[in-house]
């Protein structure tokens, strides 16, 4: 048994932090949480002294791509095509561990080739390797020529297994069933993408309502969720009507779409960091002028979408799109983006903990420091409510626990006996 004695305890539910709190851990689970004066610590418990530090729940990144490295690159698809599937899986493990050491104890991977994310989740769950908790989508589902089926190669070249390409409701049903067959926890669709042709309507619908409805029905039958890559316009509305569970990116959210999200309990995962990096990256100069104009328009529009979503009480979950521009292990930069977009530091932390867990249907197991849940928590040298950026400094993430097991060594947090 362990007793973690916090100077400041943030439980992830959005209330006032607790001064001088204790988290009592029994094996993988939290046995009790409360003021130090009220928690009876058993004599045999190992006490972790974090009285000058902050203790908070392990964080959730609800949108990553676990097989790609992040950072600027010319062609992810070409890199994937050159790698053996086993190599991709080993790289994915390395990337997952970077996020775990940065304080993200749970990740939702929204699309990877060859079911690399499914294989990694299985290996972690079976104890073959250490890593964060994973919820995975297998291959993302895209129409021919859609966002995840870009024309990278000559028509004479075939690269199998990168994505689930499907056209028409029955092909979409077959593709959805294949993801379930091979172990996906949820389904990912590409409902609509960006269009540089008219910045008054900077989106393009990729899947028909009938295609999305077929996928959502298949998911509903097997009690799984659907996450949708979206931009805006009619494609987003159709995705909401079809029954998606989360809006990913969602650059242009109208008042009507926000109302529909509120009515149906749909989550918003805005992925602000990747948009910012698109405009600040050295790669910016490589973008043709129409693409750069679209990126600037999308980034500006997302601020209004965030404001509308927050005002309507839409549950906002932290997601980074790590693996594309955002490096794995730098996930906490999204917290700063959320604060700059209008959330308070506490609201940003809730987006990364309780709401993230809800988005993944894991709120009974993780996301808050409560008795009975997994002991996924962080010890932080500093106060993230005073400066959210402290969570971006790996040296200040003193210790990371997943299921009560420490995952960072050389911790300045001391052990002591009571």
Predicted confidence (pLDDT) per residue in 126-176, tens digit: 999 999 999 999 999 999 999 888 787 778 877 777 788 999 999 999 999
* pTM, entire model: 0.95
Specify the pairing of strand 397-402 against strand 2-9.
unpaired
Q: What is the CATH number of domain 59-359?
A: 3.20.20.140
- Per-residue burial over 391-418, b = 16 or more CB atoms within 10 Å of its CB, e = otherwise: bbeeebbbbbbbbbeebbeebebeeeee
Q: What is the pLDDT of residue 160?
A: 73
- Give residue limits of the domains in the chain: 2-57+368-416, 59-359
Q: What is the pLDDT of residue 163?
A: 85
The reply to whether 2-57+368-416 and 59-359 are identical in fold is no
- We find that the CATH architecture of domain 2-57+368-416 is Roll (2.30)
HEC states along the chain?
Answer: CEEEEEEEECCCCCCCCEEEEEEEEECCEEEEEEECCCCCCCCCCEEEEEEEEEEEECEEEEEECCCCCCECCCCHHHHHHHCCHHHHHHHHHHHHHHHHHCCEEEEEECCCHHHHHHHHHHHHHCCCCCCCEEEECCCCEECCCCCCCCCCCCCCCCCCCCCEECCCHHHHHHHHHHHHHCCCCCEEEECEEECCCCCCCCEEECCCHHHHHHHHHHHHHCCCCEEEEECCCHHHHHHHHHCCCEEEECCCCCHHHHHHHHHHCCEEECCHHHHHHHHHCHHHHHCCHHHHHHHHHHHHHHHHHHHHHHHCCCCECCCCCECCECCCCCCCHHHHHHHHCCCCHHHHHHHHCHHHHHHCCCCCCCCCCCCCCECCEEEECCCCCCCHHHHHCHHHEEEEEECCEECCCCCCCEEECC
Predicted confidence (pLDDT) per residue in 227-277, tens digit: 999 999 999 999 999 999 999 999 999 999 999 999 999 999 999 999 999
Phi and psi based region of residue 118 (left: phi greater than 0; alpha: psi -120 to 50; beta: remaining): alpha
Non-local CB neighbours of 74 within 8 Å, separated by 6+ positions: none
Q: What is the pLDDT of residue 285?
A: 72
Low-confidence ranges of the chain (pLDDT < 70): 73-75, 283, 409-418
Q: What is the pLDDT of residue 283?
A: 65
Phi and psi based region of residue 375 (left: phi greater than 0; alpha: psi -120 to 50; beta: remaining): beta
Contact status, residue 62 vs residue 109, Cβ threshold 8 Å: no
């Amino acid at each position: 048994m362990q007793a973690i004695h916090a100077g400041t305890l943030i439980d992830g539910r959005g209330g006032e932090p607790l001064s001088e709190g204790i988290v009592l851990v029994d094996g993988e689970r939290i046995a009790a949480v409360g003021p130090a004066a009220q928690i009876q610590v058993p004599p045999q418990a190992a006490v972790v002294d974090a009285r000058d530090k902050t203790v908070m729940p392990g964080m959730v990144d609800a949108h990553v791509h676990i097989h790609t490295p992040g950072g600027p690159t010319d062609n992810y698809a070409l890199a994937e095509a050159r790698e053996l599937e086993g190599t991709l899986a080993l790289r994915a493990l390395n990337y997952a561990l970077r996020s775990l050491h940065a304080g993200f104890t749970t990740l939702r991977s929204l699309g990877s080739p060859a079911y690399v994310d499914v294989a990694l989740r299985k290996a972690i769950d079976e104890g073959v390797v250490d890593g964060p908790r994973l919820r995975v989508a297998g291959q993302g589902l895209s129409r021919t020529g859609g966002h995840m089926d870009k024309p990278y190669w000559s028509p004479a070249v075939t690269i199998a297994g990168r994505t689930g390409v499907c056209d028409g409701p029955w092909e979409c049903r077959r593709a959805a069933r294949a993801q379930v067959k091979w172990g996906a926890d949820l389904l990912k669709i590409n409902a609509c993408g960006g269009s540089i042709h008219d910045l008054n309507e900077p989106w393009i619908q990729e899947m028909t309502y009938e295609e999305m409805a077929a996928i959502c029905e298949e998911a509903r039958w097997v009690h799984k969720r659907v996450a949708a890559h979206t931009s805006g316009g009619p494609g987003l509305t159709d995705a909401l009507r079809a029954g998606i569970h989360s809006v990913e990116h969602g650059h242009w959210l109208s008042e009507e779409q926000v109302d529909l999200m509120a009515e149906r309990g749909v989550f918003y995962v805005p992925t602000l960091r990747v948009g910012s990096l698109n405009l600040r990256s050295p790669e910016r100069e490589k973008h043709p002028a129409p693409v750069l104009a679209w990126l600037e328009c999308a980034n500006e529009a997302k601020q209004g979408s965030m404001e509308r979503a927050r005002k309507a009480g839409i549950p906002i979950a932290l997601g980074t799109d790590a693996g594309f521009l955002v490096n794995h292990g730098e996930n906490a930069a999204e917290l700063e983006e959320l604060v700059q977009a209008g959330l308070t530091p506490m609201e940003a932390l809730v987006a990364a903990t309780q709401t993230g867990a809800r988005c993944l249907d894991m709120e009974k197991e993780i996301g808050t420091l409560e008795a009975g849940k997994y002991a996924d928590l962080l010890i932080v040298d500093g106060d993230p409510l005073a400066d959210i950026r402290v969570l971006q400094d790996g040296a200040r993430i003193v210790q990371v626990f997943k299921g009560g097991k420490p995952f960072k060594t050389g911790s300045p947090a001391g052990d002591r006996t009571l």
